[in-house]
Each structure stands twice: as C-alpha cells, then as structure tokens.
Amino acid sequence: MPKIRGAVTVNTERCKGCSLCVVACPKHVLSLQEKEVNNRGYHYAYMAVPEECIGCQSCALVCPDACIEVYRVVEK
C-alpha cells in the first residue's frame, strides 16, 4: 500500500510571519525563518521538518493571507 505524506508550499513574499500556521500544525512541521526575511521585512514560515507532514491542511485553513498551499504526495 502506498504511503501518503503531505507537502506544504508557502508564498514567502506574502507571508507576514504571524505564526498562526506554526501553532495550528499538529505535527510541528512549520517554523518561522529566524535569519531571513522577505521583501516586506517579515520572518516567513517554512517547512522545518518536511518528513513529518501529514497533509492535514490545518496550516492553510488558519492562514489569514492565504499564502499556504497543501498537497498530498503518494510515495511508492
């Protein structure tokens, strides 16, 4: 049976670093970039532990700027 895992893409230029997605993630996959900022001066969200993502979409649902997309990837 193939294993399904999640994949998150963040539009880093639109992200304002509110960290709602970080708090909403049940697997603690997302984190805020500490050393880099986007063109608006915000620390943006990224996948810190991508192998733990289950594709639940909690992060995308709470994002106020709709800058997160979640995909489900089938591994063979």
Torsion sign, CA atoms 65, 36, 29, 7:
positive
pLDDT of residue 59: 97
Q: 54 Cβ partners below 8 Å, 6+ apart?
A: 5, 6, 26, 27
Which structure tokens are listed for 47? 């996948």
Give the global pTM: 0.87
Helix/strand number for the chain, H first, E second: 2, 4
Is 10:68 a contact under the CB 8 Å cutoff? yes
pLDDT tens-digit map of 12-70: 999 999 999 999 999 999 999 999 999 999 999 999 999 999 999 999 999 999 999 99
CATH 3.30.70.20 for the 3-75 domain, yes or no: yes
CA dist 57 and 71 (Å) reads 8
Task: Spell out the domain ranges in the chain.
Answer: 3-75
pLDDT of residue 4: 87
